[in-house]
Amino acid sequence: MTTQVQTASASRAGILSALFAIALGLGIITLTGHVQAAALHDAAHDVRHATGFPCH
C-alpha cells in the first residue's frame, strides 16, 4: 500500500519534471528565436568564457 503510493507520487514527480524540462526548453527556444542575433551571440560568448570553454 505504502509502496504503491510512493510509486504513484514518484511517477507524478517525474511527469512534472518532464513537463518542466519541456516548458523550459520551449521557453529557451522561443526566447532565442526572438532575441536579436548580436545580443544572443554576446550572451553565448559571455557564458562560454564564464564556463571556461576555449573560445578565441
Q: Does 34 bind Zn ion (CB under 5 A)?
A: no
Alpha-carbon span 14 to 7, nearest angstrom: 10
Alpha-carbon span 44 to 53, nearest angstrom: 11
Using the rule CB under 5 A, give the single segment among 1-9, 14-22, 25-33, 48-56 that binds Zn ion.
Answer: 48-56
| DSSP one-letter code for 53 | -
Q: Does 56 bind Zn ion (CB under 5 A)?
A: yes
Compare residues 13 and 47 and give the one whose CB is closer to Zn ion.
47
Binding site for Zn ion (CB under 5 A): 55-56
